[in-house]
Copies of this chain bind each other. A is one copy, B any other.
């Protein structure tokens, strides 16, 4: 199956009246040339001074365009030598949780069913992750997340119980959970750690997630969150059937300017 591909070959010059700023246009032009194979991995790009002359822009503008490509791992710059096209690196691949975020950003699709909230003595895991002594009080929450009324995620979470900290109450978000994914997060959490791994779903999860009887694999997304004093606030994990969550990404050079979706501001 060999078909001749039409190559539009864009004009490759800066349009000063365009909506896109000059540095972004130049970055797209160069990225396109790399993607079309005009510059192959290992090749040196024209020097920045040369690019200034070719595209009639100032050094700073060329600079910014090259910086963008460097940030996107398309090229590598070496002082005194030049700018070189980087080879494909599988290890540079980054999987986003965007699907989750998109899901939660539509409040009509997702409903959170609270299964259980109670005070428990912290077990081994919770004590270690939350910096408690085994037996200290913790709040235990079990939730079921329904997507279009179908069970999708099973969530278990332990929250530090400390009357001196209003954090916990505010952070519980018992009914929504949405803030965490789509932002807002009311600003009491400073950061956290996330881990994804494959697990064998246990009986409880299988029952809740409407899986068949037999053994089934699932993804486990574990999380620990910290407040602004670097004290752990919550530890827990989401379980889902493997067909409900899949992480995917692209590597390599693409034509569009959307090499990485997270570039709000220029460089």
Contact = CB atoms under 8 A, between A and B. Distances in A.
A184 B229 CA distance: 43
A123 interface: no
Per DSSP, chain A at the interface is mixed
Contact of A1 (B131, B194, B266): B131
A253 B101 contact: no
A182 interface: yes
A126 B40 CA distance: 28
Contact of A91 (B87, B101, B195): B101
Nearest to A267: B267
Interface in A164-206: 179-187, 189-200
A194 B96 contact: no
A73 interface: yes
Please tell me how many copies of the chain the complex holds. 2
Interface residues of A, number: 88
Given A88-B185, A215-B215, 13 more contacts: A1-B132, A40-B187, A41-B185, A67-B266, A68-B267, A77-B264, A87-B179, A89-B185, A92-B96, A95-B97, A197-B246, A217-B218, A247-B247
Given A91-B97, A97-B93, A219 B193 contact: no
B98 A248 contact: no
Contacts of A245: 197
A76 interface: yes
B89 A182 contact: yes
B199 A217 contact: yes
B102 A91 contact: yes
A231 B4 CA distance: 11
Contacts of A231: 2
A91 B182 contact: yes
A36 interface: yes
